[in-house]
Structure 1
Amino acid sequence: MSPTVAMILALALGTYAFRLVGPALHGRVEIPPRVRDLLSAGAVVLLAALLATGALTEGGGFAGWARPAGVLAAGLLAWRRAPFAVVVLGAAATAAVLRALGVA
């Protein structure tokens, strides 16, 4: 068996075991409220970091001003509770117009 196949099998077994632990321990382990709050805050911070790196960087450098402006437009549209398609099209249109105007 090649090392690649062994690694794939090990990851598959680990994933299955990780998913099995949730239902198996449900009701047996009590997570303190403070830990629950920290996990919730951690998820928000992780999503914000992913958004920031995706919006601001490309290839290890600054992505230019058009992409962050498109993300900002999408954020404003989502905040105003626009439909998802409008949010995506608004972000794409904002970035496209800025790039057409020469704002990289």
Structure 2
Amino acid sequence: MSDAVVVLIVLATGTYAMKAAGPLVLGDRRLPARISSLVDLLPAALLASLAAVSTMGDGASIVIDARLVGMAVAGLALWKRAPFVVVIVLASMATAIVRALG
């Protein structure tokens, strides 16, 4: 077996174990309201941080370039509640324009 297959199997097993741990530990009990509202916000925060790291991260340094402009335009379009396809097109156009100018 290759290293990639072993890593994939370990990560899949860990993911299923973590998903199963919640119902096994909590049983029929509900989470407190504060923790429940925090858990509801976690996916959005993790996705935003992933987007920021992949946009501005380059190894151990921070890079400010055209991708940041595209991300800012996408954020503005999402804030204005534009459809997702429009968000992608606007962000791509903004990034391409900044790259063409610079």
Q: With structure 2 as the length reference, what TM-score do the two structures score?
A: 0.68
Q: Which runs of 5+ in 1 are unaligned?
A: none
What residue in structure 2 maps to residue 75 of structure 1? Answer: 75
Q: How many angstroms apart in 2 are the aligned matches of 1:6 and 1:65?
A: 37
What percent identity do the matched residue pairs reach?
39
Deviation (angstroms), 1:10: 5.0
What residue in structure 1 maps to residue 55 of structure 2? Answer: 55
Name the larger-Rg structure.
1
Q: How does 1:1-104 map to 2 (within 5 A)?
A: 11-21=11-21, 28-102=28-102
Specify the SS of the correspondent of 2:30: coil
Deviation (angstroms), 1:31: 1.1
RMSD: 3.3
Q: How many angstroms apart in 1 are the aligned matches of 2:5 and 2:94?
A: 45
Specify the SS of the correspondent of 1:30: coil
Amino acid at match of 1:74: A
How many equivalent pairs are there?
A: 102
Deviation (angstroms), 1:94: 0.5
Q: How many angstroms apart in 1 are the aligned matches of 2:92 and 2:3?
A: 43
Q: How many angstroms apart in 2 are the aligned matches of 1:99 and 1:58?
A: 18
Q: Which runs of 5+ in 2 are unaligned?
A: none
Q: How many angstroms apart in 1 are the aligned matches of 2:22 and 2:68?
A: 38
